[in-house]
Amino acid sequence: MIATSNAGKLVELQQMLAGSTVDLSCLADFTSVVEVDETGSTFEENASLKACGYASQTGLATLADDSGLEVDALGGRPGVLSARYGGDDTSFAEKMIMLLDEMKQSGSSYRGARFICSIAIADKNGRLIRRENGICEGTIALKPSGVRGFGYDPIFIPDGHTETFGELSEAIKREIGHRGRAFAKILPFLHEFIDI
């Protein structure tokens, strides 16, 4: 089970596991599942909470991830609160403006930042059996640019590039992005686990 309601994530993992006989399901397939609260202080803790919590509820081995943006000038914020930064009702367009304003007010000219993704796998009994991280270092752009991707992508310029994730192709983003790097690390274990 993939602990997401995001159909895109499910398709992405199905493509990575092409040729496998495993059946993948997601949260939308379980109407009685209670949402697991992300109370951890790190991405790893939240991914683990979700993997173990949903595995315990469904009785299926579960993969969960948690990811977000850390900005050095803001002391690592928004971090684990990336999706809820500024409140649940705040759009990402508003979140980006707020973040850029806070950077301006910080007095720091340093624009270093990173996207982090932590992936956790729990067995069908809800026991954590694997965890991996992917990190993509970069800088924060002066203003949003591009319409690709989602979230903070239009203000994040990955190292080695001059365009934001909002401008770069999905293929490049999958190759160098935090989620792609985390999946690449966990994929060998996942293939081995599925074949057992």
> pLDDT tens across 41-55, in order?
999 999 999 999 999
All domains in the chain, ordered by first residue:
7-195 (3.90.950.10)
> Are 119 and 64 a contacting pair, CB within 8 Å?
yes
Average pLDDT for residues 128-140, to the nearest whole number?
97
**Mean model confidence pLDDT for the chain:** 91
Q: How many CB atoms lie within 10 A of CB 20?
A: 13
> pLDDT tens across 3-25, in order?
987 776 777 777 777 666 777 88
Which range among 11-20, 64-73, 105-114, 123-132 shows the weakest confidence by mean pLDDT? 11-20
Residue 120: pLDDT over 90: yes
Average pLDDT for residues 149-167, to the nearest whole number?
94
- What percent of the chain clears pLDDT 70, i.e. is strictly above it? 96
Active site residues: 66
Average pLDDT for residues 105-120, to the nearest whole number?
95
The pLDDT of residue 195: 56
